[in-house]
Structure 1
Amino acid sequence: MGAQSIGKPAQGYPGRVAIRRAVETARALGLDVAGFEVSPDGTIRVIDARIEQAKPQSLFDQLEAAGKI
């Protein structure tokens, strides 16, 4: 006999309906949807178009951003 997987059943990529539902829900919550990612385990990640810029952490980065270096 061959090896059998016991436990969690294998999942596949999410379907079009699930993706559409996730994107519509994100838009209804006020996100500006730029795209989405799907994974073989069924995960759907919605990507927001509004990206916040990270603040400079070091003094050098702050001075460089201000144009003083």
Structure 2
Amino acid sequence: MLENLLIVALVILSIIMISVILLQPDRSQGLAKSSANILDEEKEGIEKFTEIVATLFLVVAILFQIVR
């Protein structure tokens, strides 16, 4: 039962993560601008959301391996 719930969560999180990554703006404006964005402390909302979804995905994947 718990395995099935974790599998469903993994599928949903993976679909959300793929969608969010595809929605992010293009990073091809030049190397200087992209390296400045990496060093910025303040991130855009979509970048924060991507980090949250990726972290949740990894946590659920680890839990699935433990339960399995």
Work out which structure has the larger RCO, using CA pairs closer than 8 Å and 6 or more positions apart in sequence. 2
Per the normalisation by structure 1, the TM-score is 0.29
The structure that is strand-richer by fraction is: 1
Larger-Rg structure: 1
Specify which structure has the higher proportion of helix.
Answer: 2
